[in-house]
Amino acid sequence: MPSLFKRSLLPKLRGFALTAEAVTVLSGAAEFRRCLLEQIAQATQRIYIVALYLQHDEAGQEILDALHAAKAARPALDIVVVVDWLRAQRGLIGAGKQPGNAAWYQQQTREHASEVPVYGVPVQTRELFGVLHLKGFVIDDCVIYSGASLNNVYLHKFDKYRFDRYHLLNCPPLADSMQHLVQHGLVASKAVHRLDLPNLPTTRSLRNDIGDLRSRLKHAAYDTTEGSLAKDGLSVTPLLGVGKNNPLNRVICELIASARHQLTICTPYFNLPLPVTREINRALARGVKVDIVIGDKTANDFYIPPSEPFKVIAALPYLYEISLRRFAKRHQRVIDSGLLNLHLWREGDNTYHLKGMWIDERYTLLTGNNLNPRAFRLDLENALLIDDPKGELQGPRRTELGDILRNTRRIERYQQLETLLEYPPAVSTFLRRVSRMRVERLLYRIL
């Protein structure tokens, strides 16, 4: 076993005890939106919303209105919204010059008598090199965990949705731990400022504070002192990670290494880090059945139909497909044997954003981590590891996996995936240029 696992973290993880009744798997984005709004309306103590972004659109307005209504009805309610600092101050990619969500937050604060502070967390001085990618909404003693951000498509406000995972966990110590990290590890930092107030400092002026925050986050962890080391019952452990070889990355690799019979992985962007690829190869060599569920390139949130004008961002789904085709070609033998199953998800014009892992019939990892080099090196990520040694959640687990696989097709041979010659001309031209300039490897590391 590699030296990385001589200092194994799995046996040292403290978990908070759960009951099977305390875990609810929500069936889709629309139910996720309903649940979130219901929990906000019923909150009596605290609401901590943490997401990459809260978008200025109809669904975002619905969420922010609900937060203001809850605060107006119960002024003592502790409400905090945390989003990425840089993402909040730019417009949508490819949509031209826009003021960003921060301008909307400021307008909402001016228009409401109630106060709902929106904090921006700068993980890096440039968005390209790291963002706040934490997940999890703490509402009283519940944690709603999903990889989704907050906008129309993630919340299935209209006709389209972005497919993700959605879990509701009623666990007071878990909620306390996640709130504590946000309150003391993020909001208390000098680098973090309210986006809903005017006269924001420039990112450049915060450079030293941002460096200090990132250094602290590399050594930060969720407080699990109230948890137990015992592995004899259902439990959940929150995990945090930023930067190379962080604890979350190590646990992900250890979980794959622990698989003996079955491993299922979901990722929207097929660009696996080398340590993950190595552990998958070792698992296959051990005879572990491996299922990987990926979105079809047309179900990627960066996909732009060939009928529309080309933008550089539109090349990303094709880069991920190239990576998947290479992987499938190298593993054609185990695909033929049925040991490796690559599933492509597609359902109408909807998009795919699932992340996470299922290991044997014991572990389930809920995470926003895309299992790509960017997640493993640049972004601030978290996860919830559910340990189920007695199989108490096997029913909901099977149902969730069935729902995920319903709209997939298995790749029988790598030739089923398109090549550069079959891509739209604008995409092919761009990718050939990227290949000639030898920046393809750099793109895979940061996208």
Domain range 20-218, CATH architecture? 2-Layer Sandwich (3.30)
Token pair, residue 351, equals: 């998009």
**What are the phi and psi torsion angles at 130 (to 5°)?**
150, 135
Separation CA 344–CA 407 (nearest Å): 8
Least confident of 70-74, 304-308, 338-342, 382-386: 304-308
Burial class of 313 by CB neighbour count within 10 A (0 to 12, 13 to 18, 19+): middle
Residues 57, 84, 164, 254: which is the catalytic one? 164
pLDDT digits (tens, 9 = 90+) for 348-391: 999 999 999 999 999 999 999 999 999 999 999 999 999 999 99
Task: Quote the percentage of the chain above a pLDDT of 90.
Answer: 90
Inform me whether the pLDDT recorded for 121 exceeds 90.
yes
pLDDT of residue 438: 63
pLDDT of residue 98: 65
Residue in this structure with the two tokens 């895979």, named with its chain if needed:
444
Residue 133 annotated to the active site = yes
Inform me whether the pLDDT recorded for 231 exceeds 50.
yes
Domain parsing of the chain, residue ranges: 20-218, 235-446
Inform me whether the pLDDT recorded for 4 exceeds 60.
no
Residue 167 annotated to the active site = no
Inform me whether the pLDDT recorded for 440 exceeds 80.
no
Separation CA 100–CA 8 (nearest Å): 43
Residue in this structure with the two tokens 């991920």, named with its chain if needed:
320
Taking phi first (over 0 means left), then psi (-120 to 50 degrees means alpha), and beta for anything else, what does residue 69 get? alpha
In CATH, what number does 235-446 get? 3.30.870.10
Residue 164 annotated to the active site = yes
Separation CA 87–CA 100 (nearest Å): 8
Q: How distant is the alpha carbon of residue 245 from its chain centre?
A: 18
Residue 261 annotated to the active site = no
Separation CA 124–CA 214 (nearest Å): 7
Residues 353, 379, 387, 400: which is the catalytic one? 353
* 364 touches 169 (CB < 8 A): no
Residues 57, 68, 84, 133: which is the catalytic one? 133
- Determine the average pLDDT of the residues in 57-66: 98
- Least Cα distance to 361 among 408, 399, 398, 402 occurs for 398
pLDDT band at 433 (very low <50, low <70, confident <90, very high): confident
Query: How would you write the chain as a 3-class SS string?
Result: CCHHHHHCCHHHCCEEECCHHHEEECCCHHHHHHHHHHHHHHCCCEEEEECCCECCCHHHHHHHHHHHHHHHHCCCCEEEEEEECCHHHCCCCCCCCCCCHHHHHHHHHHHCCCCCCEEEECCCCCHHHCCECCCCEEECCEEEEECCCECCCCCCCCCCCEECCEEEEECHHHHHHHHHHHHHHHHCCCCCEECCCCCCCCCHHHHHHHHHHHHHHHCCCCCCCCCECCCCCCEEEEEEECCCCCHHHHHHHHHHHHCCCEEEEEECCCCCCHHHHHHHHHHHHCCCEEEEEEECHHHCCCCCCCCCCCCHHHHHHHHHHHHHHHHHHHCHHHHHHCCEEEEEECCCCCEECCCEEEECCCEEEEECCCCCHHHHHCCEEEEEEEECCCCCCHHHHHHHHHHHHCCEEECCCHHHCCCHHHCCHHHHHHHHHHHHCCCHHHHHHHC
pLDDT of residue 312: 86
pLDDT of residue 269: 93
Least confident of 54-63, 190-199, 316-325, 425-434: 425-434
Separation CA 391–CA 412 (nearest Å): 32
pLDDT band at 1 (very low <50, low <70, confident <90, very high): very low
Inform me whether the pLDDT recorded for 445 exceeds 90.
no
pLDDT band at 251 (very low <50, low <70, confident <90, very high): very high
Residues 381, 387, 388, 400: which is the catalytic one? 381
pLDDT of residue 55: 97
